[in-house]
Amino acid sequence: MAIGHQKAEDKGQIRNHELSACGFTDKPHNALGSYDLANDKEQIRNTKDKTMSPIQINDTTLRDGEQSAGVAFTVAEKVIFASLMDSIGVHELEVGIPAMGSIEAEAITEISNLGLQTLLTGWNRAVRSDIDASLACGLERVHISVPVSEIQIAVKFQGNCERVFKQLRDTISYALDRGLYISVGGEDSSRADDKFLLDVALAAQDYGASRFRFCDTVGILDPLTTYSKVQELVSKLTIPVEMHTHNDFGMATANALAGVRAGATSVNTTVNGLGERAGNAALEEVVMGLKRIYGMNIGIDTTRFKEISEFIVEASGCDIPPWKAIVGDNAFAHESGIHGHGVLQNPATYEPFSPEEVGRERRLVIGKHSGKHLVTSFLDKYGIALSLEETRSLIDAVRDLSVELKRGLTPDELLNLIPNH
Ligand SMILES: [Zn+2]
């Protein structure tokens, strides 16, 4: 049981570090002006040891993300994506399902051979042949998933609860003998009987697993329930707890953060929130939430989030809506009179953090809701000064044209509305 004890110590260190460094003090968001890009980069450079981060991001874009209906990445896309994630400092990647064989195993093997700093983990069922497939891909870390809710056990194990323990014990022992790091996941943890879930997690720890994944597989939790369920696991286990949350009620990120607040130290994410059905907790949302709401800098270069989001839009063929948090086109766009007026004086009036922090730029849009300040500031750039009366009629014309076009105006369209220009 040396492994178990070692992990317990690690976990204690993480906690102390987390509390002293971050403290969850409920401090308000840092004001926009306090953002210091150079300091951020320096902190990222200094976080060389990935295991020292208070929270580990274990991104599963290549596994759960690709399980989105209709999504299939090529081997080349998977390899490029893994390198991108490594270069921004993501701590761990769930690289796929080795037991699928063929092209999936080929991609995982190629990624294993890249020599990345990011830890690589394969997804497995609790059977020896899956572990063999992971080993054949060159992986040193395996995630083993078992069903833990009544409905999942009925469908997958014919209602035989004992099989959960038997197969888990056998597969963990097989993987341990081969020197692998083992994470165990309770599929459908959120709908499992609490006592049974704890029994499985404690058994996994006892058999030699180094981490337990709490899965809200069908995304039915809210943050308060998540907090109490995860806190119970964290208080009874000595191994770290990982969050795996789905977005069926739009709460994947909130639930992931609630889990962290309850003591989970690892979080599954996907870029753009890609994933089964309504998707998973989005990488960009979780990392920015940890950074800006909880004040935890976990050593990930957030300035490349836009670039990575665009890569996944392209590779998955799945667009994101303009209002998507962090990476959507409108996430830093302002059109309305009141907001435009505020942002022109101080961007923090209507922005939670600076767009540069996530590789974005602020965009001021002239459209139906724009007012005098936004229009005047735009005209200033062209050296155009209008009287109050002229500005009013221009704003009326802007409204009419925006409604007609059903969108904001381009600079040329606005200039064309000014008589004698
Ligand atoms: Zn999932």
> pLDDT category, 171, cuts 50, 70, 90?
very high
Superfamily for domain range 8-13+36-316: Aldolase class I (3.20.20.70)
Query: Could you give phi then psi for residue 234, rounded to 5 degrees?
Result: -60, -40
| Measured distance CA(339)–CA(370) in Å, rounded | 9
- Rounded to the nearest 5 degrees, what angle is found at the Cα of 242, between the Cα atoms of 215 and 256? 70
Q: How many CA atoms lie within 13 A of 413 on its CB side?
A: 16
**Average pLDDT score over residue span 318-323:** 97
In 30-56, which positions are buried (b, 16+ CB within 10 angstroms) versus exposed (e)? bebeeeeeeebeeebeebeebeebbbb
| Measured distance CA(383)–CA(298) in Å, rounded | 45
> pLDDT category, 419, cuts 50, 70, 90?
confident
- pLDDT per residue over 84-142, tens digit each? 999 999 999 999 999 999 999 999 999 999 999 999 999 999 999 999 999 999 999 99
384 Cα: distance to centroid of ligand 1 (angstroms): 55
pTM over 0.75: yes
217 Cα: distance to centroid of ligand 1 (angstroms): 5
213 Cα: distance to centroid of ligand 1 (angstroms): 11
pLDDT of 103 reads: 96
55 Cα: distance to centroid of ligand 1 (angstroms): 19
193 Cα: distance to centroid of ligand 1 (angstroms): 19
> pLDDT category, 297, cuts 50, 70, 90?
confident
279 Cα: distance to centroid of ligand 1 (angstroms): 8
410 Cα: distance to centroid of ligand 1 (angstroms): 42
Which one is predicted more confidently, 38 or 88?
88
| Residue matched to tokens 């459908």 | 188
- Look at residues 60, 57, 59, 49 and name the one whose alpha carbon lies nearest to residue 13: 49
209 Cα: distance to centroid of ligand 1 (angstroms): 20
159 Cα: distance to centroid of ligand 1 (angstroms): 22
| Measured distance CA(140)–CA(210) in Å, rounded | 13
- pLDDT per residue over 185-224, tens digit each? 999 999 999 999 999 999 999 999 999 999 999 999 999 9
Extract the tokens encoding 64.
Answer: 């759960």
- pLDDT per residue over 245-290, tens digit each? 999 999 999 999 999 999 999 999 999 999 999 999 999 999 999 9
Segments making up each domain of the chain, as ranges: 8-13+36-316, 333-415
Say what percent of the chain tops pLDDT 90. 83
128 Cα: distance to centroid of ligand 1 (angstroms): 22
pLDDT of 178 reads: 98
| Residue matched to tokens 């799945």 | 318
- pLDDT per residue over 362-411, tens digit each? 999 999 999 999 999 999 999 999 999 999 999 999 999 999 999 999 99
276 Cα: distance to centroid of ligand 1 (angstroms): 6
> pLDDT category, 17, cuts 50, 70, 90?
very low
pLDDT of 30 reads: 42
Which runs of consecutive H residues, i.e. helices, occur in 89-193? 102-112, 128-136, 150-156, 161-177
281 Cα: distance to centroid of ligand 1 (angstroms): 10
Extract the tokens encoding 75.
Answer: 């081997």
E strands, 7-129, where?
56-59, 92-96, 119-125
70 Cα: distance to centroid of ligand 1 (angstroms): 16
259 Cα: distance to centroid of ligand 1 (angstroms): 16
153 Cα: distance to centroid of ligand 1 (angstroms): 17
87 Cα: distance to centroid of ligand 1 (angstroms): 25
Extract the tokens encoding 191.
Answer: 């709908």
CA 165, 171, 174, 179 dihedral sign is negative
For residue 322, the 8-state DSSP code is: T
Q: How many CA atoms lie within 13 A of 170 on its CB side?
A: 13
Tell me the angle at which helices 372-381 and 388-405 cross, rounded to the nearest 10 degrees. Answer: 100
129 Cα: distance to centroid of ligand 1 (angstroms): 22
3-state secondary structure of 77: helix
60 Cα: distance to centroid of ligand 1 (angstroms): 9
357 Cα: distance to centroid of ligand 1 (angstroms): 28
CB 252 within 8 A of CB 217: no
